[in-house]
Structure 1
Amino acid sequence: MCIHEYMIWELDHSLSLTLGLYLTVVPLSTSTAMMLNAGAAEFVASGQAQDTLNYSIWGCSPFSSLSPADRIRVLAMLEQLKVDLGTLPPPYRDDGGLVRYMIDFLNRQTMFGNYSEWSAYGTTRLRTPTERRLEYFPLSWRQVGYPGVVPGYRALLGYLLTIERKGGESTIG
């Protein structure tokens, strides 16, 4: 379903941080991956890993080489700020509030991406939202029984305006 691409796109295009006096969209996928890897390295170094690391399948990333259960433990450790915040990459370094926010964001956004139409955008999924087009019926819509888009349907078209004529004058009310 390409949820990993969805998460990278969201992290790089949808979150804003205050830089100086202005809100700025800051690409956060790389620094977030680095934060997860730093948390995983600290987790493994503390001896808490319950399963063996599998670098042969996942490559060199400490977080991705953990078992799914240990990844959840790393996320919990980060969310509870049971990590040396000084070892995290910017903008997470020494910012527990941002770390907690990001762990919550990762949890929510993964579910949102899974149940969105992202998987059906096909070749247009990495374009801006106004340029994306559904190329097929989303798997998640089928899973939840959503009937799909109804062209031209509007739940509220506006409010009915009546025109009253009194002595040749028109009033709207």
Structure 2
Amino acid sequence: MNPAVSFPANAYSYTIATFRALAEAIVPFTPSMAEYGAEQTAGAVQLHVHEYIIWELDHSLTLAVGFYPEVVPLAYSTAALLNSGASQMVASVNAQFAPSNGTVPHVPFAALSPADRVRTLSRLERLEVDLRALPPPFRNDGGLVKFIVDYLNRAVMFGNYSEWPAYGTTRLETPTRRRLEGFPVGWKQAGYPGVSLGYRALRGYPLTIIREDGGYTIV
């Protein structure tokens, strides 16, 4: 049975709100960097990295369904995992809620402060949750929980510092139909000059090989 086929009516807004909160917590908006230029203040949300995570979760990851790997939409299920982890943390520790922005109700992960969202990720990764209370396909599968949390941490950073933000209006197209509409902001933030035919780097040392009598000597 496909573990992610039945979604509630508000699944899209619920998923967007959850992953916006994730992206904001890992790479936040930093107004203190304004003196270095407006682009240096942009966080993952401003660069639409939450959309990258959702797209990848729904199109690129595979699960073993029966005896064969299959691409299964995982964005909504993973959002539900984060919200289940947030609810369990609130019930067990003194978590701090962020001010309500009045957007999407019933998204516990988004209601936490950014620091407590990171704590939720940490608790999930350490399996400090009731695995029986998690949504499918994560229920009672600690290995999958640890894998997806590790993936989420890396995906936010990859989306932020890759060419994703520069795809602009084509970013939600299939990869072959995406087109660069500018220079990636994350590259500017990191000081990466962009694609080149080659950068100066140590590739080894020149050697002279003298072949004699069926053998060789390296000089």
Q: Which residue of 1 aligns with 2:165?
A: 119
Distance 2:178 2:86 in 1: 35
Instruction: Give the Cα–Cα distance (whole angstroms) in 2 for the partners of residues 67 and 142 of structure 1.
Output: 28
Displaced runs of 4 or more, over 3 A: 52-59
User: In 1, Cα distance between the equivalents of 2:141 and 2:76?
Assistant: 17
SS of residue paired to 2:64: strand
TM-score, reference length from structure 1: 0.82
Structure of larger gyration radius = 1
User: For residue 54 of structure 2, what is the amino acid of its counterpart?
Assistant: I
- 2:99 pairs, out of 54, 57, 80, with 54
Output one character per residue of 1:100-147: Cα deviation in whole Å (capped at 9) or x when no partner: 001100001111111101001011101111111001111112222333
**Residues 70-114 of structure 1, C-alpha deviation per residue, up to 9 Å, x if partnerless?**
111111111111101011111000000000001100001111111
For 1:58 and 1:82, the matched residues in 2 are separated by 29
Residue in structure 2 matched with residue 130 of structure 1 by the alignment = 176
Q: Given the alignment of the two structures, is residue 86 of structure 1 paired with residue 132 of structure 2, yes or no?
A: yes
Separation (CA, whole Å) in 2 of partners of 1:58 and 1:128: 29
Range moving further from structure 2, 35-44 or 135-144: 135-144
- 1:33-84 Cα offsets, whole Å, 9 max, x none, are 00111111111111331x2353444532000110001111111111111101
User: What's the CA shift for 1:13?
Assistant: 0.9
Q: Which segments of 5 or more consecutive residues in structure 2 lack a partner in the other structure?
A: 1-46, 200-219
Mapped partners of 2:98, 2:190: distance in 1: 35
Q: CA deviation at 1:20?
A: 1.1
RMSD: 1.7
Distance in 1 between the 2:198 and 2:118 partners? 42
Counterpart code for 1:67:
S
Pairing of 1:89-168 with structure 2 (within 5 A): 89-149=135-195, 153=197
**Aligned length, in residue pairs:** 152
Q: Report percent identity of matched pairs.
A: 59
Are 2:82 and 1:6 aligned?
no
Identify if the C-alpha distance between structure 1 residues 58 and 64 changes in structure 2 by more than 3 Å, giving closer, same or farther. Answer: farther
**Structure-2 change in CA distance of 1:93 and 1:8 (3 Å):** same
Higher relative contact order (Cα pairs below 8 Å, separated by 6+ residues): 2
**Alignment-mate amino acid for residue 115 of structure 1:** Y
SS at structure 2 position matched to 1:82 = coil
Residue identity opposite 1:52 in structure 2: F
Question: So what's the TM-score if we normalise by structure 2?
Answer: 0.65
Following superposition, the deviation at residue 31 of structure 1 comes to 0.3
**Residue aligned with 2:63, SS:** strand
